[in-house]
């Protein structure tokens, strides 16, 4: 449990971690992200507390379910859970543990910010394109390949020309993205991925002049955007891969496709990523928990949307939210 003090007059939002908890990782989060997140949440009337699946215990019996966090009972009318599945490489071993706990919390009547089905749909890159690509933002041509016992793949079977982009189907933050120039490079990358039995996606390289946009949506409304620029020679523009991010007003051509996807998701907050080449718009990915570091107004709006959805959820239970007396 975090050392953040909880104010009983505010509902608690338990940020359920999706990766193995290591002291170094927590200290990095605590030093670089947590203070701003906690402040924005409190501005929106929420106490934010970081927990892990190991902190949660559930007991089910006829007519009653008990959920405990580090031994203390919590109630669905007093708190809710932020439940975004982390898909970085070191989080893979915990994916099932997290998804099952999210579904248990949902079944127990708690508001979960990202349900299991949307965690899967927004993390698997091919499934994202199948469900949410449309004529306003064409999905990038994509092959999904299982690399277990992988031996050989003829590029003629793909219907694509080199260079190609190869990346894990469900990793995030730009990890594992590789540009391949030849059949031999493609085979080497896929064979190496087989060591981890990874599902990989193969896409065409759109060119060095590709513009990478992210649109931040709050309750289905496009509120802010950013443009991301990669380091010279890099494939991915993500900040964790050395890219540079600049916040901008939402370009008008991105509003309609972003809002269509955001509204269909029904999430309080999400980010829609687009690539633009020569005036043509491509849907790239959906991020159900994209960080907006440095934009205090957007972060407060995000947490306020979480609180409104929590209050509507509790209202559907037939009662207003109540302070948690003993946490």
Q: Are residues 37 and 186 in the same domain?
A: no
227 is a domain residue: yes
The better pLDDT of the pair 56, 34 is held by: 56
CA dihedral 25, 30, 36, 41 (to 10 degrees): 90
**pLDDT band at 20; cut points 50, 70, 90:** low
Pair 99, 228 in one domain? no
- pLDDT, tens only, 184-224: 888 888 888 888 888 898 999 888 888 889 999 999 999 99
Note whether residue 307 is domain-resident.
yes
How far from the centroid of its chain's Cα atoms is residue 250's Cα? 20
CATH number of the domain to which 196 belongs: 3.30.1490.20
Q: Tell me: pLDDT of 134 over 60.
A: yes
CATH number at residue 27: 3.40.50
Same domain? For 193 and 230 the reply is no
- Are residues 246 and 133 part of one domain? yes
Q: State the residue for tokens 């928990």.
A: 289
Instruction: State the CATH number of the domain containing residue 276.
Output: 3.30.470.20
- More confident of the two residues 68 and 147: 68
Identify whether 322 is part of a domain.
no
Query: How would residue 3 be classed by pLDDT, with cut points 50, 70 and 90?
Result: very low
Give me the domain span that covers residue 235. 123-138+208-287
Q: pLDDT value at position 154?
A: 66
What are the C-alpha distances in Å from 271 to residues 15, 132, 234, 287? 18, 13, 23, 5
Q: What percent of the chain has pLDDT over 90?
A: 38
For residues 196 and 219, membership in a common domain is answered with no
pLDDT at residue 4 greater than cutoff 50: no
- In Å, what is the CA distance from 192 to each residue of 165, 168, 169, 189? 15, 12, 15, 5
Q: Are residues 22 and 87 in the same domain?
A: yes
- For residue 103, what pLDDT is reported? 93
Residues 293-324: tens digit of each pLDDT: 888 999 999 999 999 999 999 988 776 666 65
**Whether residue 249 sits in one domain with residue 162:** no
Pair 133, 259 in one domain:
yes
- The pLDDT-based confidence of 326 (bands split at 50, 70, 90) is very low
Cross-strand bridge partners of residue 247 = 226
Shared domain check, 264 and 166: no
**Residue 301 within any structural domain of the chain:** yes
3 found inside a domain: no
Would you say residue 249 lies in a domain?
Answer: yes
Domain count, the chain: 3
Q: Are 29 and 65 in the same domain?
A: yes
Residues 172 and 97 grouped into a single domain = no
Q: Quick one: 108 and 162 in the same domain? A: no
Q: How confident is the model at residue 231 (pLDDT cuts 50, 70, 90)?
A: low
pLDDT at 244 over 80: no
Question: Of the candidates 178, 204, 230, which is a domain's last residue?
Answer: 204
Is residue 72 in some structural domain?
yes
pTM over 0.95: no
Q: Is residue 324 part of a domain?
A: no
Min mean pLDDT across 251-260, 264-273, 291-300 is at 291-300
CA distance linking residue 167 with residue 176, whole number of Å = 5
């Amino acid at each position: 449990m975090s050392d953040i003090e909880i104010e009983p007059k505010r509902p608690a939002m338990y940020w359920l971690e999706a990766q193995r908890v290591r002291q170094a990782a927590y200290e990095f989060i605590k030093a670089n992200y947590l203070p701003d997140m906690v402040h924005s949440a409190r501005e929106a009337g929420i106490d934010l507390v970081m927990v892990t699946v190991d902190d949660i215990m559930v007991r089910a019996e006829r007519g009653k379910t008990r959920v405990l966090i580090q031994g203390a009972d919590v109630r669905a009318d007093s708190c809710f859970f932020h439940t975004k599945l982390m898909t970085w490489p070191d989080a893979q071993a915990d994916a099932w543990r997290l998804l099952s706990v999210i579904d248990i919390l949902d079944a127990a009547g708690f508001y979960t910010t990202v349900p299991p089905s949307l965690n899967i749909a927004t993390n698997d890159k091919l499934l994202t394109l199948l469900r949410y690509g449309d004529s306003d933002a064409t999905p990038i041509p994509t092959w999904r390949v299982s690399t277990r016992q992988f031996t050989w793949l003829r590029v003629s079977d793909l219907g694509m020309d080199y260079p190609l982009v190869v990346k894990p189907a469900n990793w995030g933050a730009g990890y594992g993205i590789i540009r391949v120039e030849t059949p031999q490079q493609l085979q080497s990358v896929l064979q190496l991925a087989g060591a981890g039995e990874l599902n990989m996606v193969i896409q065409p390289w759109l060119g060095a002049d590709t513009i990478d946009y992210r649109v931040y949506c709050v309750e289905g409304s496009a509120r802010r955007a950013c443009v991301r620029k990669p380091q010279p020679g890099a494939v991915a523009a993500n900040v964790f891969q050395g890219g540079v991010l600049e916040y901008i007003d939402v370009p008008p051509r991105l509003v309609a496709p972003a809002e269509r996807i955001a509204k269909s998701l029904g999430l309080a907050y999400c980010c829609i990523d687009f690539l633009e080449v020569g005036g043509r718009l491509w849907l790239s990915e959906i991020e159900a928990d994209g960080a907006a570091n440095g934009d205090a107004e957007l972060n407060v709006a995000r947490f306020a949307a979480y609180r409104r959805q929590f209050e509507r959820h509790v209202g559907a239970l037939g009662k207003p939210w109540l302070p948690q007396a003993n946490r």
